[in-house]
């Protein structure tokens, strides 16, 4: 356990940031699942709408540093490719 005041504060702030990052990552996963579900259902219109929302969510996570920028770009690219391949 930390004894120094600044160390105690650092523990609290890092816990808050960890929780915030966890929430953002969870949101990304949820939006990706929605796109995947629309693809599985074969509903191209719903998949495109879900992709639009997911791309926004993933981009925000990449901008905030929760995801690495390249990781975010790769996720968006793969989802867009999967939606594009739909009949």
Q: Give the pair of three-digit tokens for residue 52.
A: 């639009």
Q: String of b and e for 42-57 (b: at least 16 CB within 10 Å)?
A: eeeeebeebbeebbeb
pTM, two decimals, is 0.87
DSSP, res 55: H
- Residues listed for the chain: 87
Return the ∠ at Cα 34 (arms to 15 and 50), rounded to 5°: 105
Average pLDDT, rounded, for the chain: 97
- Residue 11's contacts (CB-CB under 8 Å, 6 or more residues apart) are 2
pLDDT for the residue numbered 43? 94
- Token pair listed for 40: 């599985």
pLDDT digits (tens, 9 = 90+) for 10-37: 999 999 999 999 999 999 999 999 999 9
């Amino acid at each position: 356990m930390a004894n120094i005041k600044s160390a105690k504060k650092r523990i609290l702030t890092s816990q808050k940031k960890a929780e915030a990052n966890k929430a953002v990552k969870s949101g990304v996963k949820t939006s990706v699942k929605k796109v995947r579900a629309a693809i599985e259902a074969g509903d191209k219109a719903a998949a495109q709408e879900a992709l639009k929302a997911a791309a926004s969510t993933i981009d925000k996570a990449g901008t905030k540093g929760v995801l690495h920028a390249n990781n975010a770009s790769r996720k968006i690219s793969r989802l867009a490719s999967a939606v594009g391949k739909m009949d």
